A = this chain, B = another copy of it.
Amino acid sequence: MNKVRIGMIGSGYIGRCHAIAYAQAPTVFALKGEIVREMLAEVNPELAARQAATFGFTRSTGDWRALVSDPAIDVVDICAPNFLHKEMALEAIRHGKHVYSEKPLSLSVADAQEMVAAAEAAGVKTLVGFNYMKNPTSQLAKEIIARGEIGDVVHFYGTHNEDYLARPETPLDWHCQKALAGLGALGDLAAHIVNMAHYLVGDIAEVSGDMMTVITSRPDPKEPARQLPVENEDQASALLRFHNGAHGVIETSRIACGAKMGLTYVVTGTKGTLRYTQERMAELELYLHDDPAGRQGFKTILTGPAHPDYANFCVSAGHGIGFNDQKTVEIRDLINGIAAGDRMWPDFAEGLQVQKVLEAIAYSAEQRRWIEV
């Protein structure tokens, strides 16, 4: 079986999740390639060595450029801060590596276009870490829609809300700085729900957006008595029109008190409706309008072995799946894509498409009019 040698850059929050997924994926799935945790890069050699040991990587480096140019690496897995995605990806592509990048793909459409073009020119494969669409439950939603069980989709409402910046006294960090994060809640969170809308409904044609920075300054982390300006939006909303004619709304916030993992969607069709919240990631609510009179209602389906990919984790329904399990499905797609040519999606082109929507929303909010994506 072909080896797929991974070079992972970054080992923080999401890097840890990737590492867990690499560890369990070969046991969960009959992969078409062998995962080799070859090298881990961090900001200095000591941290890199420590994290490589923790996460089961053979080699480590304090210089990500050494990783992307290493001949024994097949895939560069970018878990570094967002503002570095572009540079790292381009450099990896230049060395002929396949690239697996966390979302958002880049800080701007222009950057994402450059990345897509480079990958295409180099003929390398790409994958973006929109892991929520890999959840068996959202795959079930997709299946139900694709089979026409809820008819034609006429409306989509989606959110990705969290509350990690809800307190005004939380110091300023990179999320709030344009140079490091680009957009605020849109870039950090809404990227997921836009991808989900694409996955479940189709591409978005036009948007009318609005956004707001609620907490306009925050304490300087180094000098708490001093306030620094917040440079991007805390919350945003947008009306959507999809190419297929459906309408919709998406909303996002990083100050939505109480939303811990507030990716939610309601997909309304001509014959039924689906409701979902990521905080109950193993449940999908399905309503079918043709149910008999007096027996209509939303049915709570617990994800189980009758649904995509679930049985690989557990053979009994309702036993639950976790955050890292989604990532494990994503890793499966990565490995099978590279080792055996299976379709890898969402790729950089989708990452770009998401970025276009996000930027259109921000631009629409400034221009205060509808913008074509």
A residues apposed to B, CB below 8 Å: 13, 16-17, 19-20, 22-24, 26-28, 30, 54-56, 140, 150, 154-155, 157, 162-164, 166-168, 208-210, 212, 214, 235, 237-239, 241, 247-249, 251, 253, 255-261, 268-273, 278-283, 286-289, 291, 293-302, 304, 306-307, 313-325, 368-370
Contact = CB atoms under 8 A, between A and B. Distances in A.
A235 B301 contact: no
Given A155-B235, A279-B283, 12 more contacts: A22-B27, A23-B24, A23-B27, A168-B270, A212-B247, A255-B270, A278-B319, A279-B302, A279-B320, A320-B320, A322-B323, A322-B324
Nearest to A241: B210
Nearest to A364: B208
Nearest to A269: B257
A257 B239 contact: no
A270 B170 CA distance: 13
Given A167-B289, A249-B251, A320-B281, A56 B26 contact: yes
Contacts of A286: 295, 297
Given A260-B302, A271-B257, A163 B289 contact: yes
Copy tally for this chain in the complex stands at 4
Nearest to A55: B27
A286 B296 CA distance: 10
A99 to B, nearest CB: 22
Contacts of A251: 157, 249
Contacts of A24: 20, 23-24, 324
B239 A268 contact: no
A327 to B, nearest CB: 10
11 contacts: A140-B294, A155-B256, A208-B210, A210-B247, A249-B251, A257-B289, A261-B316, A278-B319, A294-B307, A299-B299, A313-B324
Name which of A208, A286, A313, A368 has the most chain B CB atoms within 10 A of its CB.
A208
The CB with the most chain B CB atoms within 10 A, among A237, A255, A307, is that of A237
A367 B323 CA distance: 43
* CB-based closest 4 A-B pairs: A260-B318, A322-B322, A258-B287, A294-B306
Nearest to A167: B289
A257 B279 contact: no
Contacts of A273: 256-259
Given A26-B56, A241-B210, A368 B370 contact: yes
A30 B50 CA distance: 11
Given A56-B26, A289-B163, A297-B299, A255 B320 contact: no
Contacts of A297: 258, 286, 299-302
Contacts of A288: 257
A373 B271 CA distance: 35
Given A23-B27, A322-B325, A270 B314 contact: no
Contact of A320 (B249, B261, B287): B261
